[in-house]
C-alpha cells in the first residue's frame, strides 16, 4: 500500500488491537464482495430474500426492536470548547468521550470481522466531494454503504492521492440501548458510534459525516453542507432550474425530489429530474452562483406512505436490488407497509410475528428502503457532474397545520436566512420521542449541525458578499389543515404548481403581494386550473394572518434568545423589522 496510506494503516491497526476482531477485511466495493456479504447475512438469518419474481435481488433486514431510529439524546458533538457545539447539540469533552467510547470498543469485535470501508461522498472526481473510511463489524452496514456511497477501490485511490479522510469507527456492540452513543469530534474529523445498527446511527457516511462533520468542514472551507433535496425542474422551453429544499425527516423530501408532473403539465412539456433526496453540498462557483452536488449515491427512504399514488417513481426505483429494513411481509414474501395501497395484506409484521393489528402497525413507522439512485426513472445524469448543478432557489418547509401559507418568498438573503433559522415543524417517527409536537428545526438541521447554530447562521449570512448571485429563498407548507382536520392542499405532483411560481419569481415573470412576512402569491398568481380546491382552501392557503404572525414572531424572538451574544446581529434585526411591520 502507498506510503500516503500510513495514517490509515496505523489507524486500522490501532482499532484492530482495541476491538480484537477475528478477521480484518478491506472492502473493494466489487460485485463479488457484495454477493459474498449477502450470502453471509442470509446464512445467519440477518437478511431474508424477498419474492424473486416481484422483487428480484431484494432483501429484508429486521433491526433490533429497540434500535429503529436516530437517537438524538445519545448523539454528541465533542469540541474542546463547549460553546463551539452550541445549545443545539449535546456536548461532551473530547477526552471524556474518547475514554467512554474506547472502553465500549474494547474487545467488542471478538468473533466478528472488522470491515474497512473506504468511501467517497459525492462523484468520485468532483472537487466538491470528500472522502472517509468507516470501520464496522456489521455486514449490513457494508452492504448499505456500498449502495449509499461511492465505496471501494476508487475511493481508496482518491484517499491515497489526497492523504486525508474522515475517520468513522462503528460497532453494533450488544445493541443495548443503555450502551449506545454516537460521538462526533469535528476538530479531529472523527466519528465513533457504538451500540446501534440503525441507518442514521450506523451508516456513518450519511448524517454523521455528510452533515455533522461536513457542516464543520464546510464552515472552515467556505461551502454549505445541508439537509436538502436537489431537484431539477425543466420548463416547456427546455430550461432546467435546480432547486434545493430543506424539510425535516418524513416531510416529503423524497416525494418532491421524485415528483411526477400532473398530466396537463406533462403534456405541456414539463419534466422533473432527481439529483438527490436528502443531502446537498453547495459551493460558490466562479460566476458567483451556488453549485450543488448530492454527496450520496443512493436513497435511504421512508417506506410507510410510499405508494403508486404518492410516489410512483420511488415505487419503480425499489422494484429490484433493494434492501428493505423493518417492513412487513405478505404471504408470498413481498414487502408491505402502511399506505402502500397495493390491495394486499401483511402476513408477518416487522418483528417477524404473524400480523395482528393489536400489536400496532405491520411495518415500523420508520421502516426504510436502501436503493441506488441510478434506478430512479427521473434520475438526472447531472447528478454525476463533477462541478455540480447551479441552484436557482432554496426552499424551506415543514409540517404546519395552521398559520403558515402555502408559499412565500424572502425579501433578500438575510431575510431568507431568518426564515430558515426559524423554521418550525411537527415531529415525525424518524427520531425517537413524541410525534406531532411543533418544534423549531432551523434549516431542518437541528439534529445534524455539527457546531453552534449561531455560528452556522453567521456562516450562511457570510455568502451575501459582492459578486454573489445567490438563489432566491422561499418557504412552503404542504401540510395546512382545514376546519375538518384534513389537508387543504393535495400535494404530491400538484406541488409543481408552486415550483412553477417559484421559477417564475426567479425569472421575474410572476407577481406577488408584499406583506410583513414576505412576498405572497395571490390565488391568481398560481396555476390552479383543474384543481378541485374548496373555497376554504383557496382562502386559507393564501391568507396572511397578522395576529397569528405577531405571536409567531414573538416565539421566534424567544428562540433566537437561546443563542445569546453569538447570534448574528443581522438575524435579530430581521426579526425586529418584521415584528415592527406587524404592528
DSSP label of 333: S
Rg, C-alpha atoms of the chain? 23
249 is in an annotated binding site: yes
495 is in an annotated binding site: yes
Pairing of strands 389-397, 290-293: antiparallel
CA-wise closest residue to 151 among 24, 19, 295:
295
Return d(Cα 336, Cα 317) in angstroms, integer.
15
Is 403 within 8 Å of 481 (Cβ atoms)? no
In terms of DSSP H, where are the helices of 188-274?
A: 199-202, 214-221, 253-257, 263-268
63 is in an annotated binding site: no
Return d(Cα 50, Cα 320) in angstroms, integer.
10
Cβ-in-10-Å burial (0-12, 13-18, 19+) of 508 comes to: exposed
274 is in an annotated binding site: no
251 is in an annotated binding site: yes
250 is in an annotated binding site: yes
Is 373 within 8 Å of 442 (Cβ atoms)? no
199 is in an annotated binding site: yes
Residue-wise DSSP of 442-505 = GGG-TTT-SS-HHHHHHHHHTT--TT--PPEEEEE-TT-B-TTSSBSS--GGGGHHHHHHHHHH
119 is in an annotated binding site: no
Catalogue the active-site residues: 251
214 is in an annotated binding site: no
299 is in an annotated binding site: no
254 is in an annotated binding site: yes
205 is in an annotated binding site: no
CA-wise closest residue to 113 among 142, 151, 133:
142
Is 322 within 8 Å of 288 (Cβ atoms)? no
227 is in an annotated binding site: yes
252 is in an annotated binding site: yes
CB atoms within 10 A of CB 542: 19
494 is in an annotated binding site: yes
Residue-wise DSSP of 9-46 = HHHHHHHHHHH--SEEEE----HHHHHHHHHHHHHTTS
Return d(Cα 369, Cα 309) in angstroms, integer.
18
313 is in an annotated binding site: no
CA-wise closest residue to 370 among 214, 212, 199:
199
208 is in an annotated binding site: no
In the numeric block, the cell 434568545 is attached to 561
366 is in an annotated binding site: yes
Q: Residues comprising the binding site for substrate? A: 70, 198-200, 249, 366-368
Q: Residues comprising the binding site for GTP? A: 250-255, 368, 399, 492-495
Q: Residues comprising the binding site? A: 70, 198-200, 207, 227, 249-255, 278, 366-368, 399, 492-495
Q: Residues comprising the binding site for Mn(2+)? A: 207, 227, 278
Amino acid at each position: 500500500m502507498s506510503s500516503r496510506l500510513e495514517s490509515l494503516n496505523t489507524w486500522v491497526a490501532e482499532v484492530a488491537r482495541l476491538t480484537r476482531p477475528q478477521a480484518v477485511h478491506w472492502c473493494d466495493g466489487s460485485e463479488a464482495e457484495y454477493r459474498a456479504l449477502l450470502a453471509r447475512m442470509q446464512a445467519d438469518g440477518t437478511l431474508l430474500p424477498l419474492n424473486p419474481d416481484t422483487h428480484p435481488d431484494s432483501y429484508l433486514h429486521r433491526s433490533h426492536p429497540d434500535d429503529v431510529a436516530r437517537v438524538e439524546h445519545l448523539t454528541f458533538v465533542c469540541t474542546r470548547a463547549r460553546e463551539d457545539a452550541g445549545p443545539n447539540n449535546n456536548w461532551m469533552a473530547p477526552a471524556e468521550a474518547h475514554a467512554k467510547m474506547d472502553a465500549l470498543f474494547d474487545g467488542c469485535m471478538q468473533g466478528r470481522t472488522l470491515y474497512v470501508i473506504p468511501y467517497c461522498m459525492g462523484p468520485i472526481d468532483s472537487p466538491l466531494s470528500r472522502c472517509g473510511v468507516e470501520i464496522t463489524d456489521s455486514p449490513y452496514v457494508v452492504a448499505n454503504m456500498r449502495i449509499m456511497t461511492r465505496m471501494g477501490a476508487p475511493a481508496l485511490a482518491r484517499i491515497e492521492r489526497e492523504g486525508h479522510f474522515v475517520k468513522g469507527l462503528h460497532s453494533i456492540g450488544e445493541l443495548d440501548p443503555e450502551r449506545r452513543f454516537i460521538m462526533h469530534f469535528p476538530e479531529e474529523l472523527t466519528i465513533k458510534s457504538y451500540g446501534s445498527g440503525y441507518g442514521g446511527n450506523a451508516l456513518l457516511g450519511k448524517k454523521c459525516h455528510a452533515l455533522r462533520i461536513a457542516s464543520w468542514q464546510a464552515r472552515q472551507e467556505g461551502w454549505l453542507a445541508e439537509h436538502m433535496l436537489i431537484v431539477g425542474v425543466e420548463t416547456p422551453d427546455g430550461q432546467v432550474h435546480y432547486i434545493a429544499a430543506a424539510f425535516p425527516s418524513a416531510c416529503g423530501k423524497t416525494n418532491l425530489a421524485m415528483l411526477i408532473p400532473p398530466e396537463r403539465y406533462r403534456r405541456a412539456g414539463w419534466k422533473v429530474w432527481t439529483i438527490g433526496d436528502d443531502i446537498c453540498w453547495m459551493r460558490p462557483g466562479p460566476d458567483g452562483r451556488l453549485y450543488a452536488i448530492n454527496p450520496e449515491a443512493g436513497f435511504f427512504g421512508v417506506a410507510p406512505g410510499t405508494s403508486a399514488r404518492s410516489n410512483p417513481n420511488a415505487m419503480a426505483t425499489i422494484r429490484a436490488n433493494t434492501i428493505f429494513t423493518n417492513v412487513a411481509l405478505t404471504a408470498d414474501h413481498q414487502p408491505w407497509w402502511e399506505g402502500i395501497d397495493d390491495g394486499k395484506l401483511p402476513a408477518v409484521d416487522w418483528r417477524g410475528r404473524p400480523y395482528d393489528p393489536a400489536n400496532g402497525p405491520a411495518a415500523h413507522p420508520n421502516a426504510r428502503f436502501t436503493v441506488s439512485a441510478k434506478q430512479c426513472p427521473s434520475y438526472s445524469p447531472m447528478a454525476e457532474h463533477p462541478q455540480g448543478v447551479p441552484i436557482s432557489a432554496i426552499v424551506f418547509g415543514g409540517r404546519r397545520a395552521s398559520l403558515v401559507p402555502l408559499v412565500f418568498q424572502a425579501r433578500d438573503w438575510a431575510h431568507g436566512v431568518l426564515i430558515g433559522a426559524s423554521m418550525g415543524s411537527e415531529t415525525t417517527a424518524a427520531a425517537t420521542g413524541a410525534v406531532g409536537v411543533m418544534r423549531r428545526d432551523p434549516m431542518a438541521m437541528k439534529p445534524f449541525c455539527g457546531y453552534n447554530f449561531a455560528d452556522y447562521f453567521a456562516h450562511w449570512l457570510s455568502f451575501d458578499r459582492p459578486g454573489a448571485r445567490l438563489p432566491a429563498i422561499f418557504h412552503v407548507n404542504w401540510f395546512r389543515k382545514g376546519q375538518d382536520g384534513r389537508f387543504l392542499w393535495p400535494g404530491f405532483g400538484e406541488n409543481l404548481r408552486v415550483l412553477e411560481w417559484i421559477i417564475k419569481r426567479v425569472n421575474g415573470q410572476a407577481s406577488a403581494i408584499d406583506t410583513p412576512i414576505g412576498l405572497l402569491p395571490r390565488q391568481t398568481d398560481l396555476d390552479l386550473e383543474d384543481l378541485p380546491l374548496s373555497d376554504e382552501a383557496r382562502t386559507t392557503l393564501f391568507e396572511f394572518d397578522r395576529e397569528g404572525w405577531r405571536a409567531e414572531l414573538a416565539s421566534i424572538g424567544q428562540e433566537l434568545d437561546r443563542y445569546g451574544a453569538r447570534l448574528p446581529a443581522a438575524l435579530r434585526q430581521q426579526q425586529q423589522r418584521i415584528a415592527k411591520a406587524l404592528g
